[in-house]
Amino acid sequence: MTCRQFIVTGRVQGVFFRASARDVALPLGLSGHAINLPDGRVEVLACGGRHALAELERWLAEGPPMASVSGVESVDIECAEPLQFTVG
């Protein structure tokens, strides 16, 4: 099990990015969260298999239809695995 933090930049707030990220993550078997950051970015923390994380990262680079993603940074982190995927 791997936990990875993604920081997504661009027009990613107010475009259903967090809820859409959850809708993509859950069928992949990932747990974690998606939260808005004060500077306009979105943080997605996801825990699960490496293949599922790679699929999520590919989706994050595009985002939902109303988003305009300019970048995705990711780093593997140590954390307790969340039991569900939440939107904050």
What are the pLDDT digits (tens) for 3-13? 999 999 999 99
| Comparison of pLDDT for 83 and 78, the residue scoring more | 78
| Comparison of pLDDT for 83 and 73, the residue scoring more | 73
Q: In the prediction, which pLDDT does 84 show?
A: 86
Within-domain flag for 87: no
| 4 catalytically annotated | no
Q: Which of 36, 41, 50, 58 is catalytic?
A: 36
Sheet containing 2-11: which strands, arranged edge to edge?
68-77, 2-11, 42-48, 31-36, 85-87
**Tens digit of pLDDT for each residue in 16-30?**
999 999 999 999 999
Q: Is the dihedral of CA 36, 64, 79, 41 positive or negative?
A: negative
**Tens digit of pLDDT for each residue in 54-72?**
999 999 999 999 999 999 9
The predicted model scores a pTM of 0.93
Q: In the prediction, which pLDDT does 3 show?
A: 95
| 41 catalytically annotated | no
Within-domain flag for 65: yes
Which residues form the domain of 11? Answer: 2-82
Residue 49's contacts (CB-CB under 8 Å, 6 or more residues apart) are: 1, 2, 29
Q: Total domain count for the chain?
A: 1
Q: Give 65's DSSP letter.
A: T
Within-domain flag for 23: yes
Q: Which of 18, 22, 41, 58 is catalytic?
A: 18
Q: Could you tell me the CATH number of the domain that includes residue 76? A: 3.30.70.100
Within-domain flag for 17: yes
